[in-house]
Amino acid sequence: MNYPKLSPWPFIDPDSPPADYLKIGESTDQARSSHSPQVWHFFVTQGYLIISIKDWIQLDDSEPGEYAFSQYEYPIAGARWFVNTVERFFLPPDHPNAVPRGKLNMRGEVDGETLGVTRGAWFGGQYIPGYSFDNLNRIEHSTVLPEGAFCQMFKMGDPWLFEDGLFELFKEIADRHERGEF
């Protein structure tokens, strides 16, 4: 199914974000941090959750390196939708709100954008299963990859999500949003 595509937001440098961006957290993907720390930064601005990374890329010593950026954008209410949807994967199969047996993704509309949660075998890196937080209305964008027709899929391995605190960060962001902090 095709979804109308919204323009991606301009890239931000997470080390010096625009003045109206409130940094609300960060988390390190340990599984993908073998060469350098994969630190993801979480911001809120204008009712949106922005997840951003700045990564130093140098292919070999003979070439100069440069910073590369990747970024994902979701309505801020999507944080609670993500938490609730991931929890549905853990309900007993006979529970009325459980993800149907054999189904690997769920979709829903949040503030006019179609979001998804997908279960994937290598979403945390080689042989590491995980989940992705998808925005089907926004295309994947980074300064390394060419802009394509793929939707934004923020991929997280199970260890990062459940052992290293990323799921708790999403819960905290959802709670703070619901308390009206941003």
Q: Which CATH architecture has domain 22-179?
A: Roll (2.30)
Tell me which H or E stretch contains 44. Answer: strand 39-45
pTM: 0.93
Would you list the domain boundaries of the chain? Answer: 22-179
Per-residue pLDDT 10s for the chain (182 aa) are 788 989 889 999 999 999 999 999 999 999 887 777 799 999 999 999 999 999 888 878 888 888 989 999 999 999 999 999 999 999 999 999 999 999 999 999 999 999 999 999 999 988 999 999 999 999 888 877 666 668 999 999 999 999 999 999 999 999 999 999 99
Contact 135, 117 (CB under 8 A): no
Distances (CA, A) of 50 to 40, 111, 134, 139, 162: 10, 15, 13, 14, 21
